[in-house]
Structure 1
Amino acid sequence: MFQGMEPISPATTPSRDVYTVSRLNREAKVLLEGSFPPIWIEGEISNLSRPASGHVYFTLKDAQAQVRCAFFRQHQRLLGIILKDGLRILARARVSLYEGRGDYQIIIEYMEDAGEGALRRAFDALKQRLLQEGLFDVAHKKPLPGLPRRLGIITSPSGAVLHDILTTLRRRFPGIAVLLYPVAVQGENAAEKIADAIRIAGKREDCDALILARGGGSLEDLQAFNEEIVARAIYACPIPIVCGVGHETDFTIADMVADARAPTPTAAAEMLSPDQQVWLAQFARFEARLFTGVQGQLRSHQQHLDWLGARLVHPRNYIALLQQNLKTLVQRLYLAEKTILRQARSEMQTIIARLHHQSPQPRLQALTLNHRHLYARLTTGMKRCLELADSRMRQLMQSLHTLSPLATLERGYAIVQRPNNNAIVTDARKIKSGDRVQARLAHGQLDCLVEKTHED
């Protein structure tokens, strides 16, 4: 007891809220579940237990801690892995508390192998990035050849995949040549080797199409076909590529970039090889149509030959017939010539009569007389006009001479000008002693020096 403090009596304390263990665990559970959203957690399985209920219980641990886990039966439908101690998993879970024992635990809703989960996340990230760059666009995909002369196969030479593809090609169309590009389809540096094979095939261009194939497996087994280097090699290849990797449910980045995806390697071979039975049936139909056409042509030519044979006559008879036709044509030609000449003579006489009737001679004579009369009138009129113009011009010349300053000069007058600008001097006050002037006379001019001026 502290000094100066009185002990508290239970009777004097306020009313107390007493928790039961069940209430405490229940509220703790609500608090935990409300504080944590669904989480992803990674760890190693230990103490795995499978009771008769079908639920699975285990401990998930890392290097420093561990937590109890419950994986209920209704969530185990999509489980694709075998649970065992020591397996490292990635799980989606809810944080909870088991009220019966007060144990803190997590409830697993989904789990996957931790290694495969990392590969899946890398797969999704690469898929999204290549999708944004346009490597999956349909516009970039090349059409497959209808009848390839040679197919290139990029796969392992030791697997059953190559045998299945060759068997399918022999069964469907054995005339197609095959060129193998052997590569490792799994393991270290497999992606680089596959990409190198694609680049070599694209550079050589000695195949009409390529098959990229391997058998089925886990996501880790197919990792070489989910690498960026393989995707970009497929995208840059100028030859159409059919990707037949894994089983029908397997889907890789290579499938998305390739020009076509086949669910299996065998399906890839079927996609690129026509069915020989279909071709043989079509050839049989063509053969039947050709045979029918040839038979029809032969019958038509035989009928034409029979018709020509019926028309064929002996050359002597044919010559006699031609001679008779020639005589007939000569007679018809003679009669036609006489008729044509008679008609031409009659038409010519009619035209001559019309020409005499339409002769321009009388009209030309009348026009000639009129022309002579008009010419005489024109000559007389022109002489009269010229005489009037000459008299008028003489009158004007006399008037002009009377008004001309030259006539004034003839009477002894002169025109005084300044020599620098030829300005006429009319006022003696504008001239000073010592100035030079020019005096223009009726005949010639004088350069004068003014000695003195006189005003009126």
Structure 2
Amino acid sequence: MTTQEPPQTLSVSQLNGLAKQLLEDCFAQVTVSGELSTLSRPSSGHWYFTLKDDRAQIRCAFFKGKNMRVNFSPEPGQQVNVRGKVSLYEGRGDYQLIVDSMQPAGAGVLAQAFEQLKQELMAAGWFDAENKKTLPENIRHIAVVTSPTGAAIHDILSVLMRRWPSMQISVLPVLVQGEQAAQQIADAILKANIWASQGLQNFDVILVSRGGGSLEDLWPFNEREVAAAIYNSALPVVSAVGHEVDFSISDFVADVRAATPSAAAELLSPDQGELISRLHLLKGRLANSQLRRFARWREQLLSITRRVRDPRSQLREQSQRLDDLEMRLQRQWLQAQRQRKQRLHAANQQLALLNPERQLKTKYKELNALRGRMQLAIKLRLQQPRIALKNMEQQLKTLGPEQTLNRGYAIISDESGAIVRDAANLQKGQELNAKFGRGSAELIVNK
């Protein structure tokens, strides 16, 4: 028989250390896809979160030196791809993933779609230099297609206020990320072109812009509809999307690409400081030029003065010319007088033919005839109501109660003045009043 040595007894720390070494050796580098949950960012700068799917979850640690390279803002509920090594936190014995890098889950698919659309549009000639429009030399009005609350518009306005405050800016507000963003951006570019063509706005250039972000955040600017709107734009389009290292389809299609929104604002605006300096320089050159010109004119004047003729000869010529003009004026005045007299005589003859006195007499006769007809019409109109009133009075007398009373009838009423129509309602001893055709009498009911 052989005796076996008892198994080595390990401490908890030793066991966790061995487990950690085993996990790190077996899973030195893995890529895991899942949903972010319980994301925590303490003051140390490290990130702690849980990565889960519908059946399981794993704790993750993303240390400060690594997470600074993430170019998007992760949020709980977001699908991400993380790369790192499997390890174990010895202090609690927790199994965890030490993350080295993080990307949105769809970043690989989006990158592939970006490259496919880029190659397709390049083959179609949408990126060719001969299809690009030249920016105007003097830009006075910029149509900015961006979010009105984003960092891009603040950067643009800040640069323009510093370089060229008189620049006119019209913001066409759009979403710059999300499902509806691409359609809104394309519609805004089309709207700017329509307004410019109809004379509603005097846009010189369109600036399509937004700040930096992940590939998913910038994706609306990689959509075909935005590229088509930029390519078909009659106005020049400048694209300033993301940071300097970011490139989008709109950058390739646009007539000019700016590295950042601030760079686009500098590109589209003159520097007032440089212009003021140049203005001072030109002012000095103009002053020197004027001095040289005045000196030349002085020399020319002296030369002309030496060659000028005797002024008395010129005065005689001018006097003779004045006499000629005076005689021509007199002849023209006499001819005009004769013409006016002839027109006056013709007007007098026409006035005699159109003497208003004759016309007034005719009008007076017509007026008198109309006055007579009007008076007769008024008389007849007044007689008709009188006749109708008499007829109504006669009918009232014929149909009124007086005629009935005059034929021997009477009207019986009780003490309250109510007409008595039924004898059954009377009581013995009740006082009544009887009205006759002439006069009335008080009655007492006996029976």
- Output the TM-score relative to the length of structure 1: 0.49
- Output the TM-score relative to the length of structure 2: 0.49
